[in-house]
Amino acid sequence: MDATTAFVAAFAVTAAGGVAARFLVRAGAAPAPSVPDGAAWRRTHRRRAATYAEFVEPADRIGHILEAWPTLPPAARQPQRKAAYEHLQTLGHRQGAVLLDGGPDVQAAAQQLRDECERLVRHLDLYAPPGPADESVRGLSRPFLGACREYLDAERYFGLRRPAGSSLFARIAR
């Protein structure tokens, strides 16, 4: 084999390898998670925040009932207990939206909040002696709100900072 033929053969093999590598990178590289429409992303972000706020609302109302429970006269406790059960039912209905719209930490915190509210409402005693307000239930929804804040902050950071095609593989595959 003369030098010219060897050079052409080596060049053809190298070019074929480069083309094959490019196709492999294109086929194997997942597209970068991006937000094609910033307005749509902002709407989704606001909807998630509203879903979390709506979920916490009945839990906060349950917390207010639990906080004031010892100060209530026995005649007023039965309607408050009924209201607490209604808020607990609303909390259960709204949990489905949170499970669809949140990450694993938010979902776990939502389940924990619902379980805690259910436990506290089920232990309301109509005949408990009166006393000072119970301030131990004041921060009932704080763990859930903390998980939501972390999730929304991470979503905001990674959603806005990563434009379409910013990954290394997306740039190579072009």
Residue 47 within any structural domain of the chain:
yes
Instruction: Name the residue range of residue 104's domain.
Output: 37-162
Residue 64 within any structural domain of the chain:
yes
Select from 156, 161, 158 the least CA-distant residue to 46. Answer: 156
How many domains does the chain divide into?
Answer: 1
Number of residues that make up the chain: 174
Residue 118 within any structural domain of the chain:
yes
Residue 172 within any structural domain of the chain:
no
Residue 170 within any structural domain of the chain:
no
pTM, rounded to two decimals: 0.67
Residue 28 within any structural domain of the chain:
no
- pLDDT higher than 80, residue 37: no
- pLDDT higher than 70, residue 32: no
Q: What's the confidence (pLDDT) of residue 113? A: 95
Render 15-77 in DSSP notation, one character per residue: HHHHHHHHHHHHHHPPPPP--S-HHHHHHHHHHHHHHHHHHHHHHHHHHHHHHHGGGS-HHHH
Residue 5 within any structural domain of the chain:
no
Task: State the Cα torsion 161-162-164-165 to the nearest 10°.
Answer: 130
Give the pLDDT confidence of 125-174 residue by residue, as tens digits. 888 888 887 887 888 899 999 999 998 888 777 764 444 444 433 433 33
Please give the Cα distance from 5 to 58 (Å, whole number).
80
Stretch among 26-35, 79-88, 112-121, 163-172 having the lowest mean pLDDT: 163-172
Residue 22 within any structural domain of the chain:
no
Contacts 24+ apart (CB under 8 A), 45-49: 45/152, 45/155, 45/156, 45/159, 47/101, 48/101, 48/102, 48/152, 48/155, 49/148, 49/152
